[in-house]
Structure 1
């Protein structure tokens, strides 16, 4: 191989390498939409026409865990540290016209599913659902305990109390 051929080969090699690096850099982060979800927590994503294989969603999976899988149609951001989209990790992508912001109060934590939600402010935790199930022992401590506006705490009074084996009336 003479010097001219070697030089041409080297230029071709460098041009190919530059194209590879540009492709990898373009794929470091890609916006997309979830096209399919799987029970093992993996997702398939369409990234502007580039379909992924099953990708893992970034989540908590240590001593503290969380299960909040993405849903089909949800906007996501795929991180590809190697530049290979098939080996990426999926992050939530934010709100869109199709998936509106569910809450608008700064300083409050909000998590919802369907019509149910949990909301935390500086001093209140609100659980809101058509049915709430507590499993296990339940302990309540505090100054008062009310149900539908009636005191049912340890200091509540009953009406129509008859001494002996009779049943009491409702709390007052």
Structure 2
């Protein structure tokens, strides 16, 4: 067999290869791949966007990847994708589900059939932070906040009715209270600025209950 033929076969065999990540350099965006033979040099991994809009997702050691080498030269190789394996199988089994599972158990999922979006960080006891100038949540039916403690650090405006009750809760207010409205009732009795009392007389006696 001629050297030219051997070199051609080698190049063709290297055009598309499958290997596993051996090491990563997160700061430089490079990785080394174990090709079940000679390891690659430090090579880049492909990303969804790399211009003014950019995405970053560093592969992990042991992750199975697809390597493309233009002209079959591994020195010019690029990691172009990843493949599931027994140790890290598919995180979903539905064609309608877009699901990302992180190593700490966090899940980000959208189910187009159910029209449902879910962000679940409960497995990692993590937090979700949204930072912006203005945030708007529009729900055509209802919004539920299910938590034992809710804190609002600024002003709170309620445009319509406010209903409180259940669980034996109470209201604690620190600071001045101003109520502007035509009526103020307590257990069906008017106790606002225009209410009257029965049994009023001068002296040290107390008034009767509100009328």
TM-score interval (norm. to shorter): 0.7 to 0.9
Q: Which residue of 1 aligns with 2:143?
A: 145
Does the 8 Å CA contact 1:79/1:90 hold for their aligned counterparts? yes
SS in structure 2 opposite 1:82?
Answer: helix
What is the distance in 1 between the residues matched to 2:3 and 2:178? 92
Task: Give the alignment's Cα RMSD to 1 decimal.
Answer: 2.5
SS in structure 2 opposite 1:95?
Answer: coil
TM-score, normalised on structure 1?
Answer: 0.76
Greater share of helix: 1
Does the 8 Å CA contact 1:36/1:43 hold for their aligned counterparts? yes
TM-score, normalised on structure 2?
Answer: 0.63
Question: Residues 89-168 of structure 1: matches in 2 within 5 Å?
Answer: 89-114=78-103, 115-122=105-112, 123-129=115-121, 130-136=126-132, 137-143=134-140, 144-148=142-146, 157-159=162-164, 165=177
Instruction: State the shift of 1:87 in Å.
Output: 1.3
SS in structure 2 opposite 1:35?
Answer: strand
Instruction: State the shift of 1:128 in Å.
Output: 1.1
Question: Residues 1-172 of structure 1: matches in 2 within 5 Å?
Answer: 15-39=2-26, 40-59=28-47, 60-114=49-103, 115-122=105-112, 123-129=115-121, 130-136=126-132, 137-143=134-140, 144-148=142-146, 157-159=162-164, 165=177
Q: Which residue of 1 aligns with 2:190?
A: none
**For 1:49-86, what per-residue CA distance to the aligned partner results, in whole angstroms no more than 9, with x for missing partners?**
11111111011212432212210000111100121112
Does the 8 Å CA contact 1:70/1:92 hold for their aligned counterparts? no
Q: Which runs of 5+ in 2 are unaligned?
A: 148-157, 166-170, 180-211
Cα gap change, 1:112 to 1:155, in 2 (>3 Å): farther
Q: Which runs of 5+ in 1 are unaligned?
A: 1-11, 168-172
Matched residues, number: 149
Moved over 4 A (4+): 153-156
Q: Which has the larger radius of gyration?
A: 2
Deviating more after overlay: 76-85 vs 117-126: 117-126
Cα gap change, 1:26 to 1:138, in 2 (>3 Å): same
Greater share of strand: 1
